[in-house]
Amino acid sequence: MIRCARVIGLCVQLFLLAGAAGAAERPTFAGPAMGTTYRVTLAQPLAAQDLRHLHRETDRLLARLDEQLSTWRKDSDASRFNAADAAVWVDVGDDLFRIVQLAQDLHRQTDGRFDITVGPLVRWWRSRLRGSPGGSLIEAEPPRDLLARIGSDRIESRRMTENRPGALRKLAPGLEIDLSAVGPGYAVDQIGQRLIALGSAAHLVELGGEVRAWGLRDNGSPWRVVVRIAVAGGIQQQVIELPEGRAVAVAAASNDRPVIDPRTGRLGRNESPADLIIYADSCAEADALATAALLTE
């Protein structure tokens, strides 16, 4: 999934590293996921679980998420939904159902600044910004028929029952979903919860720069990460502590890079002089709120 779906010419890159002394001795495993990589660090070894088993279970979980959330796989639930006609119910897995509902909640929470249906707008602007400075197109407006395909509130859901799976349907022809600005964070949350079920009370999970902490380090102190952010005049590394259950993401601001406003379809500009560190109770929320923070109110 594309990590920079809402930014033209600027990937939102997060550089978060395990920053505690002695982290190298802690049980750790990693692997590829969602077009990037993930890394899990446990506070201490688990007496009842082999690290290789935890690794396999995490990879199985990520494979399940890929089958539902990926827009690169034609056979995924998300791709089947995107290919479906309007008003047709599409049966989907529990993860896609939950993440769409979460995305709709975040859409309302951010007054429309976060929107998983903005993909067609991204492609439209990319085709026009090639070779053209963003400032010269700041007043341009996409066609109305394109705007009619944008809006997370144009997705209807039908909950799972004993006799049928959960389902989604689009209320506008041509509507698409792209979960690249919430999917990696959701995956972090799911990995962390799966590790709890397998017996780990404390761990740090990172995927593509999205980070969340569970529990405390083996010395009883909060997990620490190093965040690399842009500030006026350069790049700065900042060590932060993550309390139990908290997640962090970075909204990478750039005054000379245009971003798309899903509410209007037009280009907007973030006027913040530096990147913003976003905290939330889940990584999916932090991921989405960092995307929304690229736009001013």
Q: How confident is the model at residue 5 (pLDDT cuts 50, 70, 90)?
A: very low
For residue 235, the surrounding DSSP H or E stretch is: strand 234-242
Asked whether the beta carbons of 49 and 55 are under 8 A apart, the reply is: no
* Cα–Cα separations (whole angstroms), residue 291 to 14, 34, 182, 275: 12, 18, 9, 11
Q: Which is higher by pLDDT, 268 or 91? A: 91
Structure tokens at 16: 């978060």
Q: Quick: pLDDT tens for 29-38.
A: 999 999 999 9
Structure tokens at 129: 């910004």
Q: Which is higher by pLDDT, 1 or 21? A: 21
Q: Quick: pLDDT tens for 156-172.
A: 999 999 899 999 999 99
Whether the pLDDT of residue 282 is over 80: the answer is yes
Full-model pTM: 0.87
- What is the secondary structure of 263-285 as a DSSP string? TTSSEE----SS-EEEEESSHHH
The predicted model gives 2-17 an average pLDDT of 32
Whether the pLDDT of residue 133 is over 80: the answer is no
- What is the secondary structure of 101-170 as a DSSP string? HHHHHHHHHTTTSS-TT-HHHHHHHHHHHTTS-GGGGTT----HHHHTT--GGGEEEE---SSS--EEEE
Whether the pLDDT of residue 56 is over 70: the answer is yes
Using the 8-state DSSP alphabet, how is residue 24 labeled? G
For residue 30, the surrounding DSSP H or E stretch is: strand 28-33
Using the 8-state DSSP alphabet, how is residue 223 labeled? E
Helix 283-292 to helix 94-109 angle, to the nearest 10 degrees?
40
- Residue 284: the pLDDT is 96
Cα(33)–Cα(176) distance, integer angstroms: 22
- Residue 19: the pLDDT is 41
Cα(77)–Cα(295) distance, integer angstroms: 30
Strand 28-33 versus strand 36-42 pairing type: antiparallel
The predicted model gives 200-220 an average pLDDT of 93
Whether the pLDDT of residue 215 is over 50: the answer is yes
Asked whether the beta carbons of 211 and 204 are under 8 A apart, the reply is: yes
CATH architecture of 15-292: Roll (3.10)
- Residue 76: the pLDDT is 97
- List Cβ neighbours of 197 (8 Å cut-off, separation of 6 or more): none
- List Cβ neighbours of 133 (8 Å cut-off, separation of 6 or more): none
Domain edges within the chain: 15-292
Whether the pLDDT of residue 126 is over 90: the answer is no
Q: How confident is the model at residue 81 (pLDDT cuts 50, 70, 90)?
A: very high
- Residue 154: the pLDDT is 97
- Residue 209: the pLDDT is 85
Q: Quick: pLDDT tens for 150-207.
A: 999 999 999 999 899 999 999 999 999 999 999 999 999 999 999 999 999 999 999 9
Cα(241)–Cα(239) distance, integer angstroms: 7
Whether the pLDDT of residue 17 is over 50: the answer is no
Q: How confident is the model at residue 138 (pLDDT cuts 50, 70, 90)?
A: low
Asked whether the beta carbons of 170 and 34 are under 8 A apart, the reply is: no
Q: How confident is the model at residue 11 (pLDDT cuts 50, 70, 90)?
A: very low
Hey, how many other C-beta atoms are within 10 angstroms of the C-beta on 142?
A: 17
